[in-house]
Structure 1
Amino acid sequence: MMTSAQMRAARALLGIDQKRLAELSGLSVPTIQRMEASDGNVRGVVESLTRVVEALEAAGIELIGEGAASPSGGRGVRLKSGPRT
Structure 2
Amino acid sequence: MSILKVSIRQIKAARALLGWSQEDLAASADVSIPTIKRLEALDDILRGRAETSTKILRALHSAGIEFIAENGGGAGVRLRKPRAK
Q: Which 4+ stretches in 1 moved above 6 angstroms?
A: none
Following superposition, the deviation at residue 53 of structure 1 comes to 0.3
TM-score (norm: length of structure 1): 0.76
Within the candidate set 28, 33, 46, 1:29 is matched to 33
Percent identity (aligned): 47
Residue in structure 2 matching 1:17, options 12, 18, 21: 21
- Listed as ranges, the gaps of 5+ residues in structure 2 are 79-85
Structure with the higher strand share, 1 or 2: 2
Tell which deviates more after alignment, 44-53 or 60-69: 60-69
Please give the secondary structure, in 2, of the residue aligned with 1:63: strand
RMSD: 2.1
TM-score, reference length from structure 2: 0.76
- Deviations 1:5-63 (CA, angstroms, capped at 9, x unpaired): 00000000000100010000000001011111122201210100000000000000001
**Of the candidates 32, 55, 58, which is equivalent to residue 59 of structure 2?**
55
1:44 and 2:37 correspond:
no
